[in-house]
Structure 1
Amino acid sequence: MTIKEKIQKYIDYKGISVYRLEAEAGLSKGYWGKTKSISADIAMKISRVYGDMSTEWLLRDKGEMIKNAEREQKTIEISESAISETKRKGALIYDIDATCGLSGRDIEFTDEKVIGSIDAPEINPDSKIIFATGDSMLPLIASGDRVVIRKIESWDYFNYGQVYLIITNEYRLIKRVRRHPKDADNLILLRSENPDYDDIDLPKREIIHLFIVENILSIKNIL
């Protein structure tokens, strides 16, 4: 899509009329209908008016159309110098994937699966770094993201509404955990960010391990 087509898609999605777009962005009346292409300067001017539209998507075809505030808050940038394939200092990187969907595999953090480490002040050295796959957690977590996780040792440290990696005998999956509306004592509700996926009722007794997703790394395919 061209930049103009993308902006048109955005205003259609938000229910914004062309007249309103021109007025709010300081464009001349009739500008939108007359112009065939939008310059980067005009695109940036419009994006400053509509702050939830992603400029990465608009100008570089990267990411989603709508910014995700939680993703921006959780995402941290790591320099290449902080990543090592040989040293074991800081948070360890594992050749393990967790599915933003369903996956019938257990998860084991063994030495054989360590493929590197990241030594950076932004990351808790006791945390672990794994690979996320699937699209059920879009736009918060994309397939290919490296996520920083930390094990929750007790339900006393558990908070509803957060995103967790949940390990059972059948699945390892990343979901937002909600309080179950009917049986909060025995069940939890696993919810995807992607509305195409249904909620999952999961008995608490089936959970073997629980990890909170602390951060998302901005570096893709780091090793």
Structure 2
Amino acid sequence: MIVNRILQLIKYKGINKRKFYLETGLSNGYLDKVKDVGVSKIEHILNTYPDVNSEWLITGRGNMIIKPFPIGEELDIENALVQEPNSIYKVKTQKQQVPLYDVEAPAGIVSLFKDSSQAALDYISIPNLPKCDGAIYVNGDSMYPLLKSGDIIMYKKINIAAENIFWGEMYLVSLTTDDLEEFVMVKWAQKSDKGDDWIKLVSENPQHQPKDVNFKNIKGLALIKATVRINATY
């Protein structure tokens, strides 16, 4: 079963299930709830761990890990399998193509944090970029001067829970107000004085006041991994 092979992979990586869920974006307890793993979830795992042999994960054939190759050698690693995981290697990997989305498009906010497909405006590739789920343009001045309108932020979705948040980091937050109006915003995430069920969203721009939000109103949460600024268009 694929679930059993995923558990082997977790053990090989030396991580626990919680870290696996956090890194792959799968929901907490997912492996305990399913007997089979869908294609979209497999893609999440392979994108997160590009050294994993897809044939092994899906069918059980071959070795778990794709073999890297020694420094100075040029080698196609598609069919190579790991032999010395503790050696120093130069790893040849595919560049990550991060989809750039338009949250101003119809249903853009609704589908941004869901598995349902949304057409991308374009794709961004940056060397050595941490794993990202997507990118969007910044709109507004709440994070100015750190971010300005027109900048691009690149994010990795996480499960909505206080224990998954790295306090003090910057997040993309999708939330609804009590009158069901939807917003997507970029804020610093800080602990709220109101308790564990709340999060304080803080702007970089001092003209924007901090706001305490109940977790029940948060519909999506993503850690900002990178930012892109274009200083000239000529």
TM-score normalized with structure 2 length: 0.48
Q: Which structure has the bigger radius of gyration?
A: 1
Instruction: Report the CA distance between 1:134 and its aligned residue.
Output: 0.6
* Residue identity in the other structure for 2:187: K
Same amino acid, percent of matched pairs: 25
Q: Give the match for residue 140 of structure 1.
A: 146
* Residue identity in the other structure for 1:157: N
Q: Secondary structure at the match of 2:222?
A: strand
- What are the superposed Cα offsets for residues 15-74 of structure 1, whole Å, 9 maximum, x if unpaired? xxxxxxxxxxxxxxxxxxxxxxxxxxxxxxxxxxxxxxxxxxxxxxxxxxxxxxxxxxxx
* Residue identity in the other structure for 1:175: K
Q: Give the match for residue 167 of structure 1.
A: 174
Rounded to whole Å, the distance in 1 between the matches of 2:231 and 2:195 is: 37
**Kept in 1: contact 2:138–2:149 (CA 8 A):** yes
Q: Secondary structure at the match of 1:142?
A: coil
Q: Secondary structure at the match of 1:205?
A: helix
* Residue identity in the other structure for 2:154: V
- What are the superposed Cα offsets for residues 189-216 of structure 1, whole Å, 9 maximum, x if unpaired? 1111111111111001111110111111
What is the RMSD computed on CA atoms of the aligned residues? 2.5
Return 151-160 or 196-205, whichever deviates more: 151-160
Q: 2:205 is matched with which residue: 194, 198, 218? A: 194
Q: Secondary structure at the match of 2:208?
A: coil
Q: Give the match for residue 101 of structure 2.
A: 94
**Kept in 2: contact 1:106–1:168 (CA 8 A):** no
* Length, aligned pairs only: 127
TM-score normalized with structure 1 length: 0.51
Decide whether aligned partners of structure 1 residues 221 and 89 sit closer, same or farther in structure 2, where only a CA change above 3 A counts: farther
Pairs within 5 Å for 1:207-218: 207-218=218-229
- What are the superposed Cα offsets for residues 55-114 of structure 1, whole Å, 9 maximum, x if unpaired? xxxxxxxxxxxxxxxxxxxxxxxxxxxxxxxxx9611111225xxxxxxx8342464530
Rounded to whole Å, the distance in 2 between the matches of 1:126 and 1:175 is: 18
Rounded to whole Å, the distance in 1 between the matches of 2:131 and 2:199 is: 29
Higher RCO (C-alpha under 8 Å, 6+ residues apart): 1
Decide whether aligned partners of structure 1 residues 92 and 125 sit closer, same or farther in structure 2, where only a CA change above 3 A counts: farther
